[in-house]
Amino acid sequence: MGILSAIIIGALLIYGILVTPTRQPYRDALAQYENVGRANATLTAAGASLNASKASGEEFEKNIQTAQKALVSLEKENEALAKKDVLKEGEGKAKYDAYNAKLQEYITYNENILASMLIVRPVLFECNKGMTDITDGPESIVAIRSCSAELAKLEGITDADYKVLVISFQDDYDNLADILEQMAAEKAANGENSAQYKAFASQRDEALEQLSTTSSEFSKSVQQHRNQILTTDTEKVLGDYLKDNSRIF
């Protein structure tokens, strides 16, 4: 090894020894920042399990509890990140504050989604089970009216999309029940082969299709709102800041 090379390596080692202590607080903050990211990944995975439409009531409640615990964990990890000294003043604080503002919006959104889902899903689950064999008989009509009535009783729905969904399904169920009652009356008066009965049957099919459309529009709206909340560069900006200041060379 040449003298010049030895001098350079020695200088770098000395630089590393002198600089490392000043970088360590950023490394600690970066490690905690990554903990927040892992907690969010756990929440995302837990949330995905809630989309299982055939889950039993017990399975659904278990999945909700898992998601709620993941959300609490995310909040705690972020609280720990906020306590890092390098994020309490100056540029670090400015970047963390921007990141935290969006994260709080995201946390509130998920709290509202989980709370609303816990209220709405059990009713819709029972209603959907009753929609497998729709007729113009009194049992179907009563069941559909009951679904609308049960939805009307729901209170405390905090998520905007779930509020719209509940109101829309009430209207859809009432409309379907009206059509089925007209079908039943027409069948009793003129039989199933009458032109009017066939017209009502066509309206029934359209009403059933509307239930599917309402569900699809709800899913689309939820995804759009979720994307709006997730579309931000504050997370990347904070991560890049911590990574840049963690480097020795």
Terminus-to-terminus CA distance in the chain, angstroms? 22
128 closest CA partner among 54, 51, 59, 178: 54
What is the pLDDT confidence band of residue 48, given thresholds at 50, 70 and 90? confident
Which has the higher per-residue pLDDT, 20 or 209? Answer: 209
**CA-CA distance, 88 to 27, in Å (whole number)?**
15
Q: Each residue of 5-26: pLDDT tens digit? A: 445 444 444 434 444 567 899 9
| Residue written as token pair 């939805």 | 151
Q: Each residue of 116-171: pLDDT tens digit? A: 999 999 999 999 887 778 889 999 999 999 999 999 999 999 999 999 999 999 99
Ramachandran angles phi, psi of 158, nearest 5°: -100, -20
Which has the higher per-residue pLDDT, 159 or 2? Answer: 159
43 closest CA partner among 62, 64, 71: 71
